[in-house]
Structure 1
Amino acid sequence: ARRDTREKATVPMAGLSDHIAALLETIQDAIFQKALKFRDDHIFTVNDYDEFKQIIAADKGWVRAFWDGDPATEARVKEETKATIRCIPFEQPAVLGSDPVSGQPAKHEVLYAKAY
């Protein structure tokens, strides 16, 4: 049975290895696309701290927000929401806004989440 769809198929012995190789590639792509969709569906971009806190409190997923680079700002977020910066993506937007917590100009766009 396929791991991703649980379908069963009968395949002739002739050409079995080619069929399996193609099937494994198809399964890998399907699982990868499902994971990407799940990731993208659970990242929420916010511009204000109230919305940030609501998303974190509801355990909806990750929050994408601007960060001013100040460890004190991150500490405040951790104290108030239990969320911490989990990732500073390599690809940053060309124009950065302001940190929703401090209101200061941002140095990075980051992803916050709670640890479980």
Structure 2
Amino acid sequence: MKFKILLLISIAFFSYAIYFYPVQKYFAEKNLEEYMIIQGTSSAVIQSKEILKDYKIGGYTISIVYADDPDYRYEYIYFPGEKELKDSMRCFVYDSENVEIGVTNKTVKYPPIN
């Protein structure tokens, strides 16, 4: 009996870990690709990319510097469980001093989607 309970707890734990790490990371990257297409960019112009698990929201934060817009860092935040792309992914743009750039700033090559 103890073995069955331990087995069920182990299965539940591993299912949780698989969903919240590799599966969500896959969805975050897939939504990022779709978002980037709408923004007018692609993964071909990425200079650097960093993917981090965001434990506060349960999603992922993807930080990108584009080779053709190196003065800015684009931070994409994936919110799991949202139905539409516009709700599941947000983009924030920061300058070299880590100050957020507004959506209306015309110097940003790939502005966030409203």
Same fold (TM over 0.5): no
Greater per-residue strand proportion: 2
For the pair shown, the structure with the greater C-alpha radius of gyration is: 1
